[in-house]
């Protein structure tokens, strides 16, 4: 084997440069605006022998936003090393080590209010997977995985002249483990089954503290505290996760698929904001916050037409969830060392139907997809214990995507998206207690943001093919949000300027119409 044929590598990166043009603006506020993101992808593989191959990859990305002395940013960094080993002609293994780090920060450079707030979640994972081609009718997969989660909820460091105090929420660790066994079996020429069992385990480990309360209405006054040292087990969860799926071919053009899956999740995302920003709180399951479980059943019909020129499908599903969490009114989720006292637990459910029509071949390609769904929770202490929509409930989700090859070099495309607005909780009044005003809220998620929809357009022109040229390229002119729809990003409330005591809701928007020109080349 020649050394040159043993491996390959790839590097890809990008960065937006809107902030470069902001500095040329006559508007001082715009000149001081910081708005950019970048990402970098690295991949390499090397063939160690006829039976061994090594894969290495990395991803690094960051988003930054700010104006003047105030700003925030977030980023991800991941690294993966995978060793593929061919044990025999029918059995091979993958050994994988993974590192990931998600962090975000918020800060001000104003002397009197200078601070820097950081938070992150780090994961260290080790996986061992095997795939065994037992015979032409059975493919067996089995393996194990272990992950260490490290949480740093928040660390606020004030400046030397700042009025802020140092706030540091101690981090905690969690360990997830799992073993699994699955088989894909061709029972008959028409019937295929995919079944398996996964056993997962979880431990919330120290350092950490647990609190006991006699009066749940006085969460700031614990009656007892238990302290755990590093590595000491605080709480454990675990259980079986069975899975079963089947496909029955009615003909060469039609099939029916059905499945049942149980999953367990040991991390929770806490958020009481309307914006999709990263400043939410990830918390592991604890002695107070339970693990999540979900049972889902699905049934689908798939049919192709005109010699597979068109692909269609209809699927329905129902998911039942336990261990769901939500927060109390006026909950303080950030920089809260006893955040579990702001949490309520209950059940959830999600159900709906998905429709798809796809044309994968010919000058005109594309698809139309539509999902009708409902996702809701039932938690004691919220909405009288009745069902209510979750923040990410989207009743209607429609996408129309098309691409037309006008010639060997010219392609035009369009993408239209429509999604029901997210569910939000609005203040509908206020009351004053000892001189301080407190908001009165609507029923939980009783209102909706305006629906989200936009149209994106693109035209791509490939370079002419020239003999002997070692690279090829293409120009793309694209228009994001072609009809300049003002889709809401978040909503906040403020006092009306000319009417003291009255509150108004203010929508914020991210991007209007956004044209761009791109040149891509390969060599």
Tokens 């999709």, residue?
Answer: 276
Position 26 scores a pLDDT of 80
Buried b / exposed e along 390-414 (16+ C-beta atoms within 10 A): bbebbbebbbebebeeeeeeebebb
Position 106 scores a pLDDT of 82
Which pTM value belongs to this model?
0.86
- SS3 assignment, position 5: helix
CB 4: neighbour CB atoms within 10 A?
A: 7
Run of H or E residues at 114: none
Position 498 scores a pLDDT of 77
Report the DSSP pairing between strands 343-359 and 310-327.
Answer: antiparallel
Tokens 């959830």, residue?
Answer: 348
Q: What's the residue count for the chain?
A: 523
Structural tokens at position 261: 């899956």
Q: CB–CB of 331/380 below 8 Å?
A: no
Position 464 scores a pLDDT of 75
Structural tokens at position 174: 């969690």
End-to-end CA distance of the chain: 24
Taking Cα atoms as reference points, which of 482, 486, 491, 476 lies closest to residue 511?
486
Structural tokens at position 56: 């290495």
Structural tokens at position 172: 């905690």
Position 2 scores a pLDDT of 41
Tokens 């040159």, residue?
Answer: 4
State the Cα–Cα distance between residues 297 and 295, nearest whole angstrom.
7
Taking Cα atoms as reference points, which of 127, 116, 119, 126 lies closest to residue 101?
119
Q: CB–CB of 328/305 below 8 Å?
A: no
Which own/partner pairs from 369-372 qualify as long-range (CB within 8 Å, at least 24 positions apart)?
A: 369/397, 369/398, 369/399, 370/396, 370/397, 370/398, 370/399, 371/396, 371/397, 371/398, 372/396
Tokens 């979900």, residue?
Answer: 294
Taking Cα atoms as reference points, which of 201, 265, 203 lies closest to residue 236?
203
Taking Cα atoms as reference points, which of 76, 94, 98, 96 lies closest to residue 85?
94
Taking Cα atoms as reference points, which of 328, 379, 369 lies closest to residue 349?
379
Per-residue CA distances from 13 to 34, 58, 156, 284, 416 (Å): 20, 12, 32, 33, 27
State the Cα–Cα distance between residues 401 and 368, nearest whole angstrom.
6
Taking Cα atoms as reference points, which of 33, 107, 113 lies closest to residue 72?
107
The conformation of residue 227, written as its DSSP 8-state character, comes to E
pLDDT digit string (tens) for the chain, length 523 residues: 344 568 899 998 888 877 777 777 787 777 777 778 899 999 999 999 999 999 999 999 998 887 777 888 889 999 999 999 999 999 999 999 999 999 888 888 877 777 888 888 999 999 999 999 999 999 999 999 999 999 888 778 888 887 777 777 778 899 999 999 999 999 999 999 999 999 999 999 988 888 776 655 455 567 788 888 888 898 999 999 999 999 999 999 999 999 999 999 999 887 766 555 556 678 889 888 899 999 999 999 999 998 889 999 999 999 999 999 988 776 677 767 777 778 889 999 999 999 999 999 999 999 999 999 999 999 988 888 999 999 889 999 999 999 999 998 899 999 999 999 988 888 777 777 777 777 777 788 888 889 999 999 999 998 777 676 767 788 999 999 999 998 887 777 777 777 766 777 777 777 788 888 888 777 6
Q: CB–CB of 165/128 below 8 Å?
A: no
Position 275 scores a pLDDT of 55
Taking Cα atoms as reference points, which of 61, 63, 79 lies closest to residue 278?
63
Q: Which positions ≥6 away from 214 have C-beta within 8 Å?
A: 223
């Amino acid at each position: 084997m020649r050394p040159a044929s043993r491996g390959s590598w790839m590097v890809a990166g990008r960065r937006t440069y809107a902030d470069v043009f902001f500095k040329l603006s006559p508007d001082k506020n715009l000149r001081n605006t910081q708005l950019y993101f970048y990402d970098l992808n690295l991949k390499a593989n090397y063939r160690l022998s006829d039976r061994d191959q090594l894969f290495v990859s990395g991803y690094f990305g960051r988003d930054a936003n700010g104006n003047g002395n105030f700003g925030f940013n977030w980023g991800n960094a991941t690294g993966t090393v995978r060793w593929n080993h061919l044990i025999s002609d029918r059995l091979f293994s993958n050994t994988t080590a993974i590192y990931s780090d998600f962090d975000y920060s918020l800060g001000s450079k104003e002397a009197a209010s200078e601070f820097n707030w950081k938070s992150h979640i780090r994961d260290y994972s080790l996986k061992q997977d095997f795939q065994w081609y037992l015979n032409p009718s059975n493919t067996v997969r089995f393996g194990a995985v272990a992950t260490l989660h490290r949480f740093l909820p928040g660390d606020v460091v004030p400046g030397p002249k700042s009025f802020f105090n140092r706030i540091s929420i101690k981090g905690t660790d969690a360990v997830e483990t799992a073993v699994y066994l699955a088989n894909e079996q061709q029972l008959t020429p028409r019937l295929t089954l995919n079944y398996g069992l996964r056993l997962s385990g979880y431990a919330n480990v120290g350092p950490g503290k647990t609190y006991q309360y006699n009066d749940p209405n006085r969460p700031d006054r614990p009656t007892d505290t238990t302290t755990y040292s590093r590595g000491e087990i605080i709480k454990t969860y675990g259980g079986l996760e069975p899975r079963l799926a089947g496909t029955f071919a009615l003909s060469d053009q039609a099939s029916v698929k059905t499945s049942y899956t149980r999953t367990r999740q040991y991390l929770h995302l806490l958020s009481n904001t309307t914006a999709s920003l990263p400043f939410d709180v990830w918390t592991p399951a604890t002695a107070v916050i339970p693990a999540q479980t979900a049972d889902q059943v699905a049934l689908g019909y798939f049919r192709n037409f005109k010699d597979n020129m068109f692909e269609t499908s209809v699927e329905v599903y129902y998911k039942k969830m336990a261990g769901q969490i939500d927060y109390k009114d006026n909950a303080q989720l950030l920089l809260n060392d006893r955040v579990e006292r702001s949490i309520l637990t209950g059940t959830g459910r999600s159900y709906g139907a998905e429709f798809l029509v796809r044309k994968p071949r010919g000058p005109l390609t594309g698809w139309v997809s539509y999902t009708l769904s409902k996702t809701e929770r039932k938690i004691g202490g919220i909405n009288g214990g009745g069902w209510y929509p979750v923040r990410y409930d989207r009743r209607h989700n429609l996408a129309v995507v098309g691409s037309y090859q006008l010639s060997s070099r010219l392609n035009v495309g369009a993408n239209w998206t429509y999604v029901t607005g997210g569910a939000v909780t609005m203040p509908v009044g206020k009351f004053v207690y000892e001189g301080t005003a407190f908001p009165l809220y609507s029923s939980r998620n009783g209102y909706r943001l305006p629906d989200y929809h936009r149209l994106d357009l693109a035209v791509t022109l490939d370079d002419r093919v020239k003999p002997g040229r070692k690279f090829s390229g293409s120009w793309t002119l694209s228009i994001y949000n072609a009809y300049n729809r003002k889709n809401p990003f978040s909503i906040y409330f403020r006092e009306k300027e000319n009417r003291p005591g009255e509150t108004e809701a203010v929508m914020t928007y991210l991007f209007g119409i956004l044209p761009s020109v791109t040149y891509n080349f390969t060599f």
